[in-house]
Amino acid sequence: MPRYKLTLEYDGTPFVGWQRQLNGLSVQQVLEDAAHNLSGHSVTAAGAGRTDTGVHALGMTAHLDLEKSLPPHRVRDALNHHMRPHPVGVLTAEEVSEDFHARFSCFHRHYLYRIICRRAPLALDAKRVWRVGYELDVGAMQAAAQHLVGKHDFTTFRSTHCQAKSPIKTLSTLIVSRHADEVQIRCSAPSFLHNQVRSIAGTLERVGAGRWQPASVRESLEAKTRSACGPVAPPHGLYFVKADYPPFDQ
């Protein structure tokens, strides 16, 4: 069966996350139902990451198999038609080899966390950023972030429900920057623990607010206990940006 690599964007607000679950509608279910309507047979989709309830995606990679070969643009357009009115869009579709796997072929994942610093309520970005009613010291947040870059035991920044076999992960980049009244936290790593990015974002926010010192983040990491973590940032500020694959999988 031909395999198709898809790039999707979605607003995570109405979903229980990427993965199909019994307690609500997921992005995976919407995509699989659309593929079923297109092909007439049951389809299982795999994604590069498992975003949580309310988390968005700018470029989530997924793959699925169809029983017959169709031009990629027809697959894209048909899936988009059948996913209406759900806030999910297939940006690109391409036929790939059966060796390609959206999750297991991926060697790097990128996330963005958005924080708006203003007292006024959000009209356009409601449920798409975390609004705080005070200024954040981006320089202090960036200094604190550097304590987390590299290979570490991230037990402190790991959900108690995380099913990963090991808390040891390698954070390739962690950059904090300001864009007008928006603070952006960009993270890259081969893989992440459950709630790791939101835990990091919530901890860095405490530094930016002056409640923690930058060195406190290193102490929190070294404590290797969940109780040493700052508050977990809300899901609606988090975006899955993109997944990286070897050239032969492109």
The pLDDT score that the predictor gives to residue 163 is 83
Q: Are strands 130-132 and 108-117 parallel, antiparallel or unpaired?
A: parallel
Domains 3-105 and 108-242 fall in the same CATH topology? yes
Task: Please state which of the ranges 89-93, 158-162, 193-197, 224-228 shows the lowest mean pLDDT.
Answer: 158-162
**Among 106, 101, 69, 74, residue whose Cα is nearest residue 90:** 74
pLDDT in tens, 54-73: 999 999 999 999 998 999 99
pLDDT over threshold 80, residue 141? yes
The pLDDT > 90 percentage for the chain reads 92
- The correct CATH number of 3-105 out of 3.30.70.580, 3.40.640.10, 1.10.510.10, 3.40.50.1820 is 3.30.70.580
Task: Please state which of the ranges 11-15, 57-61, 159-163 shows the lowest mean pLDDT.
Answer: 159-163
Give the distance, in angstroms, between the CA of residue 184 and the centroid of all CA atoms in the same chain: 14
Q: Which residue has the tokens 């923690």?
A: 212
Q: How far is the C-alpha of 198 from the C-alpha of 120, rounded, in Å?
A: 23
Cα–Cα distances (Å) from 95 to 1, 36, 130, in that order, read 11, 18, 37
DSSP calls for 166-214: -SEEEE-EEEEEEETTEEEEEEEES---TTHHHHHHHHHHHHHTTSS-H
pLDDT over threshold 60, residue 250? no
Mean pLDDT of 221-232: 95
pLDDT over threshold 90, residue 249? no
Mean pLDDT of 98-107: 95
Positive or negative CA dihedral for 142, 143, 146, 148? negative
Per-residue pLDDT band at 248 (split at 50, 70, 90): low
Q: Domain extents for the chain? A: 3-105, 108-242
The pLDDT score that the predictor gives to residue 22 is 86
Query: What pTM was estimated for this model as a whole?
Result: 0.95
| Region of residue 137 (left: phi > 0; alpha: psi -120 to 50; beta: else) | beta
Average model confidence (pLDDT) across the chain: 95
pLDDT over threshold 80, residue 142? yes
Contact 198, 171 (CB under 8 A): no
Positive or negative CA dihedral for 185, 194, 124, 243? positive
User: Three-state SS string across 93-146, please?
Assistant: EEEECCCCCCCCCCCEEEEEEEEEECCCCCCCCCCCCEEECCCCCHHHHHHHHC
| Range 108-242 has CATH code 1.10.630.10 | no
Give the distance, in angstroms, between the CA of residue 107 and the centroid of all CA atoms in the same chain: 15
| Region of residue 54 (left: phi > 0; alpha: psi -120 to 50; beta: else) | left
User: What is the DSSP-derived secondary structure letter of residue 247?
Assistant: G
Please identify every residue annotated as catalytic: 52
Contact 6, 83 (CB under 8 A): no
Q: How far is the C-alpha of 144 from the C-alpha of 183, rounded, in Å?
A: 15
